[in-house]
Amino acid sequence: MVRRIVALALAFALPGLARAGTGSRIVKIVVAGPHAPQGVATEVVLPPGWQLGQQALLMVFLHDGWGSEKSFRKHDLAAVALGMMQGGAIPPVVIASPRHRGTFIVDSPRGQMESFVAEDLVPALEREFPGAGGSRDRRCLWGISLGGYGALKMALRHPDVYGRVAALAPWVQPLAWDSYEGNRTLWSRWLLEPVFGHSREESRFEANDLVVIAGEANPERVPAIYVRTGSRDKWEKGAQELVALLRRRGIAVDAASMPGAKHDWPDWRAATPAVLEFLTR
């Protein structure tokens, strides 16, 4: 079920989008489903001149840990995407960004966000925006930082939903109760334990460790994966180790380090054109 809360808005009312052309529009909706009956705030960027029923790719964007459904527009990634569509560098793409802050894209008492992204979101979007997506090879997914962690989890644990997946500066680190318990802080108790569990008995750390998930993935089903990390990003080492494991398992990954890039929006924005080109091939 989709509840629209703001009607189509012309791009001139959105400064970040206006630079990409006044034909672009954004829709603010609330997407509800079996795993999120209360609804999830989502911003959807529509291609310039696109009308319901016309063919377009469907892209889902997962924001960083401190972001929101507004991050794709707020940090001008939408402007980059729309400019590439207008210039013909990429085909028309309907881009949806759901809010997942605080959930780590995990099924937990904080919300069934993994199942929502894997099972509820795409069907709802394809009903609301007919012509967008429609099959695995016409859907793609990418995420930044914590969203990159979620994107890789989708590729490995839910490989039949999205045909191409990109992770930019993904948050990758070992998740296990034993290693976590020895380094507990007031901050981690507040941030992590409501999602991953308060004790060894209820721990969800291990079930959401990308290394564990990668070891269980079916190499024949995993979609095309693209990973970019920054040479000055503290999370790069973990991502590179995961890429090496995937390749040992026979899973092809297009991965590289971006010299001098840090874990921040200016570097992520600079990498956006290459990410979009990969996802829309």
Going from the N-terminus, what domains does the chain have, and what CATH number goes with each? 2-279 (3.40.50.1820)
The pLDDT score that the predictor gives to residue 182 is: 87
The pLDDT score that the predictor gives to residue 3 is: 61
The 8-class DSSP code of residue 125 comes to H
pLDDT above 70 covers what percent of the chain? Answer: 91
Main-chain dihedrals φ then ψ at residue 184, nearest 5 degrees: -65, 140
Token representation of residue 159? 């490989």
Q: Given a cut of 50, is residue 15 above it in pLDDT?
A: no
Number of continuous H segments (helices) and E segments (strands) in the chain = 12, 11
Q: Given a cut of 60, is residue 22 above it in pLDDT?
A: no
Q: Residues 125, 97: contact at Cβ < 8 Å? A: no
CB-side neighbour CA atoms (13 Å) of 158: 20
Considering Cα of 219, then 166, then 29, then 126, what sign does the dihedral take? Answer: negative
Q: What is the arithmetic mean of pLDDT over 100-122? A: 97
Residue 208: closest CA among 128, 129, 105: 105
Q: Given a cut of 50, is residue 6 above it in pLDDT?
A: no
The pLDDT score that the predictor gives to residue 183 is: 87
Dihedral Cα 264, 269, 270, 272, nearest 10 deg: 130
Q: Given a cut of 50, is residue 246 above it in pLDDT?
A: yes
The pLDDT score that the predictor gives to residue 24 is: 54
Q: What is the pLDDT of residues 54-66, one digit of tens each?
A: 999 999 999 999 9
